[in-house]
Chains A and B, each alone.
Chain A
Amino acid sequence: MDVGEPLRVVDVEPVEPPVPREEEPVEEPVREEPVFA
């Protein structure tokens, strides 16, 4: 791939990560059952 001659070197630090995050498993909410005395 012909990008031509180098001009300068820059430092690129993205605020947002450019790589998608792995989807985390969705946890089912714990259903609290009422306790009857």
Chain B
Amino acid sequence: VGAPDYAAPLVGWRVWRVAETRAGLRLLSVVYDDIWLPLRPAVASCPHGHHAPEAACVCGLYALADRAGAARYLVGRNDPWVVGRVLGLVSLWGSVVECERGWRAERAYPLRLWASPELAAGLVPYAVEYAAAA
């Protein structure tokens, strides 16, 4: 019928690294050095050249249904220019691969971040909700 399966974004949990850049603090994937720009949706791509995400591939923008599962990524080795990591909720839309424990999405944007006051102040350009990190 042409109507979408969902008319509101899916919401999942994920962790971002926070990097110091010339433009200020920016959110970064925990695995790749892909910057999530303020006020712009992150758009998935695949090195194999096909539309992302594809069910048979592993591409897409990842989020988990389980907060505790995502929070495990708050710990990890950071590059010198990474000033911290933040847990957050992320909106997912476009073509989305539903998986057993989360999603791989075509488009995404942070919805709410749990950050220290210092990081939250630097991430104001993203214009999302902030909550105090525990």
Contact = CB atoms under 8 A, between A and B. Distances in A.
B97 interface: yes
B49 to A, nearest CB: 18
B4 A13 contact: yes
Contacts, number: 97
Contact of B73 (A1, A4, A11, A12): A1
A34 B86 CA distance: 56
Contact of A13 (B7, B55, B69, B70): B7
Interface of B: 4-10, 14, 30-31, 39-41, 53, 55-56, 62-64, 69-70, 73, 91-105, 109, 111, 126-128
Grouping DSSP codes into helix (H, G, I), strand (E, B) and loop, the A interface class, with mixed when no group exceeds half, is loop
Contacts of A18: 9, 41, 91, 93, 109, 111
A12 B94 contact: yes
A10 B92 CA distance: 11
Interface of A: 1-16, 18-22
Given A4-B101, A8-B98, A13-B93, A19 B39 contact: yes
A14 B102 contact: no
B62 A3 contact: yes
Contact of A16 (B8, B69, B100, B104): B8
Nearest to A10: B5
A27 to B, nearest CB: 21
